[in-house]
């Protein structure tokens, strides 16, 4: 499964610009769209899920390798930094290395998970992918980062939530294996946003109240009127820009977008379950990777989710997880119920 961070609707908007001043941006967006489409046409083979005993292995240290393609698209590229080696001075290399470490730390320390697959999977990432490449993606086995076009996007290693997001697609791949289409696909994207912000909050030791709840904060250049790709706390408010347009994410089922584009709107409708998680975390207070994170992690990994899961089925599963972990009369259970009611997903 190929999962990229920049929504196709954003790339299509950029690709449609005809003004001479936006020629580079439009070309970069078109190439990114074509590239992701070509990758998705050649789907990765299903990845075997480790045996339960392997998944429960005590977390060990990360095993990171960063590669550099030198602006080509030949993966993985030349190895430029390995585990326990010093910083290189290349910002993209060192940011990727540090972000992989922070992602590993969240799963190990908060959820006792041994890397992405639960069995100590090596964490590989490639930087300097392509020319003016406006995206980052998980290709089923590793992370890949472009350097951006310099006018709309900075390099994609600048945002810790982006790295956490993409690696979380790997966790979903090894656990619930949610289909990448319609509501199941939006849940797949949402789970990556949830664990992407948890990686960032855990690394910064931020409480739910202190956190920005933004996905891709720091990716936009100063030319863009916007804070990030998405806002989990307030879907639809992340950006409002003459070139990019306005953030189209809905924040409740009243505004659910029915579309055949982007595999049935996987990047756009993820705003609804995203907001539900943020509401739970803000209602409970403290650290979002604790009670809220455990409810969502248990739901993702306990085998209760069908591949074609709907929002309603997922909401019921989170409520069941809250009951299992904290009890039916707990504040956690109440917060989960109220959150789904607020975003108008029927329980």
Catalytic positions, written as ranges? 166, 267
Burial class (CB in 10 A: 0-12, 13-18, 19+), 341: middle
Beta strands in the chain (DSSP E): 3-4, 64-68, 78-82, 123-129, 136-138, 143-146, 214-215, 230-231, 240-241, 245-246
The CA distance from 95 to 260, in Å, is 36
Degrees, nearest 5: CA angle 191-195-198: 145
Degrees, nearest 5: CA angle 83-84-86: 110
**Residue 150 to residues 220, 260, 307, Cα–Cα distance (Å):** 9, 31, 38
The CA distance from 188 to 36, in Å, is 17
Six token digits for residue 316: 């019921």
The CA distance from 195 to 176, in Å, is 15
Query: For residue 43, how many other CB atoms are within 10 A of its CB?
Result: 11
Helices 91-111 and 291-301 cross at an angle (nearest 10°) of: 90
CB 104 within 8 A of CB 117: no
The CA distance from 347 to 341, in Å, is 8
């Amino acid at each position: 499964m190929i999962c990229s961070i920049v929504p196709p609707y954003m790339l299509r908007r950029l690709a449609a610009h005809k003004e001479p001043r936006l020629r580079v941006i439009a070309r970069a967006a078109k190439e990114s769209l074509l590239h992701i489409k070509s990758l998705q046409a050649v789907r990765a083979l299903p990845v075997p899920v480790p045996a339960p005993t392997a998944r429960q292995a005590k977390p060990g240290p990360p095993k990171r390798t960063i590669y550099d393609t030198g602006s080509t698209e030949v993966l993985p590229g030349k190895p430029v930094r390995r585990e326990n080696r010093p910083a290189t001075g290349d910002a993209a290399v060192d940011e990727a290395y540090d972000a992989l470490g922070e992602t590993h730390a969240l799963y190990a320390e908060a959820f006792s998970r041994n890397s992405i697959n639960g069995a100590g999977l090596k964490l590989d990432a490639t930087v300097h992918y392509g020319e003016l490449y406006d995206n980052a993606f998980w290709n089923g086995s590793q992370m890949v980062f472009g350097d951006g076009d310099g006018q709309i996007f900075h390099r994609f290693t600048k945002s810790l939530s982006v790295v956490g997001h993409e690696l979380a697609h790997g966790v979903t791949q090894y656990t619930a294996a949610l289909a990448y289409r319609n509501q199941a696909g939006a849940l797949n994207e949402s789970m990556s946003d949830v664990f992407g912000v948890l990686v960032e909050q855990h690394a910064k030791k931020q409480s739910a109240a202190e956190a920005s709840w933004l996905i891709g904060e720091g990716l936009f250049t100063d030319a863009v009127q916007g804070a990030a790709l998405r806002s989990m706390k307030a879907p639809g408010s992340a950006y409002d820009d003459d070139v990019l347009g306005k953030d189209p994410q809905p924040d409740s089922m009243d505004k659910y977008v029915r579309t055949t584009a982007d595999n049935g709107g996987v990047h756009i409708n993820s705003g609804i379950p995203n907001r539900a998680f943020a509401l739970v975390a803000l209602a409970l207070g403290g650290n979002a990777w604790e009670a809220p994170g455990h409810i969502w992690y248990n739901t993702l990994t306990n085998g209760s989710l069908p591949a074609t899961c709907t929002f309603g089925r997922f909401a019921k599963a989170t409520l069941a997880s809250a009951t299992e972990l904290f009890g039916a009369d707990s504040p956690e259970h109440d917060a989960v119920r109220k959150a789904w009611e607020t975003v108008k997903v029927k329980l």
